[in-house]
Amino acid sequence: QVQLVESGGGLVQAGDSLRLSCAASGSTFSNYGMGWFRQAPGKEREFVARIGWIGPSRYYSDSVKGRFTISRDNAKNTVYLQMNSLKPEDTAVYYCAASERRLVTTLMSVEYWGQGIQVTVSS
């Protein structure tokens, strides 16, 4: 079992950058596919980005491709989401997600969730 704790959210202006971090504990981090999802008010939770447990294997939603970058540091048990050129439509609660030896691209593929962290982008 793994515990996930997000940090780094906040209020920024359109065009700014922000980096989210997700610290994992409780299991062998390098065995887990990691990802980020987000949920805006009144909308369903949606996939944002994921990274595999073997090699980079990065994948992004069309809405963030070219602006967001996911990365991981297995020595620090942490996954990051670098968000550049932020837009008001990126405003949401962002959730870290993990699955053991599985790519986290859909809600059904996620075994563990973080508690979520708010990102607000003002226009």
Condensed to tens digits (0 to 9), the pLDDT of residues 43-96 reads 999 999 999 998 778 999 999 999 999 999 999 999 999 999 999 999 999 999
Condensed to tens digits (0 to 9), the pLDDT of residues 32-46 reads 999 999 999 999 999
Task: Determine the average pLDDT of the residues in 21-25.
Answer: 97
The DSSP bridge partners found for residue 51 are 34
Average pLDDT over all residues of the chain: 96
Closest CA to 93 of 22, 10, 3: 10
Task: Note the pLDDT of residue 1.
Answer: 87
Residue type, 96: C
Task: Note the pLDDT of residue 81.
Answer: 98
Query: Where on the phi/psi map is residue 36: left (φ > 0), alpha (ψ -120 to 50), or beta?
Result: beta
- Separation of alpha carbons 38 and 46, rounded Å: 5
Burial of 53 (0-12, 13-18, 19+ CB in 10 A): buried
The DSSP bridge partners found for residue 22 are 6, 79
Task: Note the pLDDT of residue 118.
Answer: 98
